[in-house]
Amino acid sequence: MNMQALVIEKPRAACVRSVPVPPVGEQDILIEVKASGICGTDAHIFRGEYLGTYPVIPGHEFSGVVAEAGAGVTRFVVGDRAAVEPNLACGICPPCLSNRQNFCGRWSALGVTRPGGMAAYAAVPEQAAFKLEKNLSFLEGAFMEPLSCVLHGLERAPVRFGDRVLVVGAGPMGLLLTQAACLHGAGAVTQVDRNQSRLERAQENGASQVRQSLEGLPQDSFDLVVDATGVPALMARAVDFARKGGAVLWFGAPPRDGKLELPAFSIFEKGLSLVSSYTSARNSLQALALLETGKIRVSPLVSHTLPLADFARAVELIETGRDNVLKVMILPDSGGL
- Which residues are at the interface with Zn ion (CB under 5 A)? 39, 41, 89-90, 93, 96, 104
Any residues with CB less than 8 A from the CB of 216 and at least 6 apart, and which?
none
Min dist. Cβ of residue 111 to Zn ion (A): 8
Min dist. Cβ of residue 93 to Zn ion (A): 3
Min dist. Cβ of residue 89 to Zn ion (A): 5
Minimal CA–CA distance to 314: which of 297, 332, 296, 300?
332
Min dist. Cβ of residue 104 to Zn ion (A): 3
Min dist. Cβ of residue 47 to Zn ion (A): 15
DSSP 8-state secondary structure symbol assigned to residue 205: T
DSSP H stretches of helix in 157-258: 172-183, 196-204, 232-241
Any residues with CB less than 8 A from the CB of 48 and at least 6 apart, and which?
10, 11, 12, 54
52-89 core/surface letters (b: 16 or more CB in 10 A; e: else): beeebbbbbbbbbbbbbbbeebeebeeebbbbbbbbbb
Q: Which is nearer to Zn ion, 96 or 239 (CB)?
A: 96
Q: Which is nearer to Zn ion, 173 or 247 (CB)?
A: 173
Any residues with CB less than 8 A from the CB of 82 and at least 6 apart, and which?
29, 31, 63, 64, 65, 66, 76, 124, 129, 130, 131, 132, 141
Confirm if 240 and 263 have CB atoms less than 8 A apart: yes
Min dist. Cβ of residue 327 to Zn ion (A): 10
Q: Which is nearer to Zn ion, 117 or 206 (CB)?
A: 117
Helix (H, G, I), strand (E, B) or coil at 197: helix
Q: Which is nearer to Zn ion, 86 or 246 (CB)?
A: 86
Helix (H, G, I), strand (E, B) or coil at 26: coil
DSSP 8-state secondary structure symbol assigned to residue 311: H
Cis peptide before 125 (omega within 30 of 0): no
- Sign of the alpha-carbon torsion through 47, 8, 276, 94: negative
Min dist. Cβ of residue 267 to Zn ion (A): 30
Min dist. Cβ of residue 90 to Zn ion (A): 4
Q: Which is nearer to Zn ion, 90 or 214 (CB)?
A: 90
Q: Which is nearer to Zn ion, 78 or 92 (CB)?
A: 92
